[in-house]
Amino acid sequence: MTKSKKTLSILAFAQVFSHCLAAAVATAGSTPCGRLKRPNIPGANVISIHSQHLPNASVLASPPLLNSNFTGLDICNVDLVLSHHGAKDEVKVKIWLPSTGWNGRFLGTGGSGYAAGFFELSLAPVVALGYAAASTDAGLSGDPYSPAAWALDSKGNVNKDLLLNFASRSVHDMAVAGKAIATEYYGKRPHHSYWSGCSTGGRQGLVAAQMYPEDFDGVVAGAPAIDWARYVVAEQWPQVVMREEGTYISQCVLEAFTNASIAACDSLDGLTDGIISDVRACKFDPHALVGSSVNCPGKEEVVTEEAASVVAKILAGPKGLEISHPYALNPGAALDSLSNTTIVDGTRVGLPFFVNDAWIKYFIKRNPLFDTSTIGYSAFQAIFNQSQQEYGKIIGSYDPDLSGFKTAGGKAIVWHGLADQLIFPADTVDYHQKVEKVIGNSSTLAGFYRTFLASGVDHCGAGPTPGAVPVDPLEEVVAWVEQGKSPDVLEARKVKPDGTIVARDICAFPLTSRYRSGDVTLASSYVCSSQTQ
C-alpha cells in the first residue's frame, strides 16, 4: 500500500470512528425498544408492558377519523395496560416512537364523542411528522357513539371511576407514561410536550391545562366539548321544542331555514360568499320564510307559522335561572343534526343526536330504555340542573383558572367553527371571557391563550363546510412555545368543488374577518376588524 493510500485509509477509519462515537454519545442511556420498562404512574399500577419494533408499519384510512393511508412507518410500538388504585378498571395506553427522525417532542392525542382516543388512527399522522405520541382508551369501550358498555355497573349505578378516567384522569396518565417511555427509549426527555385534539379531544386538552398545567407546553383545542354536563343536555333542546310544540320539521325544510339565515346575513362582512363572518350582527327572523315553498324530495313543502316558531325557539336556546348564556346554534349552522327527524310508521318524529340521547339515558336516568322523546319543557329544566349538580365537578371541564398553566409557560390555541352544528361556539366564547376575568385583562390573556372563531366552518371542519378550516394549528402553537411567535391569525384554507383554493386568515377573538378588496380567494384581501354592523 502506498503512503497516500495508507493515509486515506487512516482518515476514512477516523471518520467512521468519529461518526460511531457521536452516535454512541447521542444514544447514551437509551433503551432498545424490546427492553423498555414499566413506567411509574402515581395513583396507578402498570399491569403490563409490551414493546416491539415495527420497521414498516401501515395504517389504512378510516374516514372521518383518518382520511389518508400512512405506510412505511418505522416505529417502536409500546402497549401499556394499567389500573387505578381502588378502581376495577383496565386502561390501555399506546405509545408510538419514531425509530428515526424524532423531532424531540411528545404529543398527546384525544378522542371524539364517548371515546377517549383512537390509537393508530390518531398516532399515524403525527408520528409521520416526527412526534413521539400517545393515545389512550381511558378503560372504556372505544365506541365514540355510545357509553353503553361502561357507563353503568352491574348494579345499575354510574361507574364513577370510568367517568373520571374519561373526564380527566387518563389524560394525565397518558402524558406521564408517554413522556417517561420516550425518555427511556431515546435516552433524553422530550424538549417540549404538546396536545392536539378536537371535540372531546379539545375538551381533554383544556382539562390538562386546567388540572395538570405542567403536562403540556402547548395545547390545541378545537371545538372543545367543555361545560359537558350542561352543554350535552342543551343539545336535547331542539327535540324538546319540537315535542312540546307538536311540530317535527323535515330535514329539507330545516336546510331551507339554514340557507335563509346565511342569505340574510352573508353580506355583513362586506362580501357575499355563503359565509356569515360575524354572527353577533346577524338578526335572522325565521318567520320571513312563512308561506314560501321548499322543493323537497318527492313533493313541495310550504313553510308554516308553526315551523318558523319552532326554529325561532331552537335558535334562541333554552332559558332558565341556571342557564347563564345561550346554548344555541348560530345562524348558518346546520339544523338537521340536533333538530333531526325521521319517519316511523308514516309519522314524522324526532331523532335525537346520540351524545345527548345517551347522556340522559345512562347518566341522568340510569336507564338505557328511557325514551328521551318524552322530555318536555319542565322535565328539560330538571334534567339540565341535575346533570350539572351531579357531574359538573367531574366532567364540567370549565374551570377558568388557568393561572397555573400560564405560570408554567404554557400556550393554548382554541379554535371553533362558527357554523358548528353540534357544540355551541357561544360556550367557547363564554369560557374565553371567564378566563380573561380570572387572569385580569385581555392583553395578559393573549400572552398565553387565544381563541379563533372560524367563519362558516362546521364541527371540527369535518363536513362539507363552506368556510376555510385551520391548516395547521399545531405548527402554530409549536412556533408560539418554542420561538415566541404569537399567532394573531390562523392560516386557513378551503378547496372548492372546482379545485379552487380559498385562503383566509382566522382572526383572534374578538376580531372578525372583513373583506377589504382584491381577489376573494386570497387571505390578503381581508382584514381583521372589531367593527360589528
**Is 250 known to be catalytic?**
no
Place of cell 414499566: 38
Answer whether the bond into residue 224 is a cis peptide, omega within 30°: no
* Amino acid identity, position 502: V
All three cell numbers of 370:
328511557
Name the catalytic one among 337, 458, 459, 505: 459
Answer whether 260's CB lies under 8 Å from 311's CB: no
* Amino acid identity, position 199: S
Name the catalytic one among 168, 199, 337, 397: 199
Cα-based distances in Å from 269 to 421, 451, 517? 21, 20, 12
Answer whether 510's CB lies under 8 Å from 530's CB: yes
Answer whether 116's CB lies under 8 Å from 92's CB: no
Helix (H, G, I), strand (E, B) or coil at 1: coil
Angstrom distance (rounded) from CA 431 to CA 436: 9
Name the catalytic one among 420, 427, 430, 458: 420
Answer whether 327's CB lies under 8 Å from 427's CB: yes
**Is 459 known to be catalytic?**
yes
Phi-psi sector, 258: left (phi>0), alpha (psi -120 to 50), beta:
alpha
* Amino acid identity, position 11: L
All three cell numbers of 350:
324526532
Place of cell 404512574: 41
**Is 192 known to be catalytic?**
no
Going across the sheet that includes 44-59, the strands are 44-59, 70-84, 91-98, 132-136, 105-109, 192-198, 218-222, 411-417, 449-454
All three cell numbers of 472:
395547521
Helix (H, G, I), strand (E, B) or coil at 491: strand
* Amino acid identity, position 347: T
All three cell numbers of 199:
371535540
- Give the DSSP letter string of 65-134: TB-S-EEEEEEEEEEEEEEETT----EEEEEEEESS---SEEEEE--BTTBS--THHHHHHHHTTT-EEE
- Which residues are tagged catalytic? 199, 420, 459
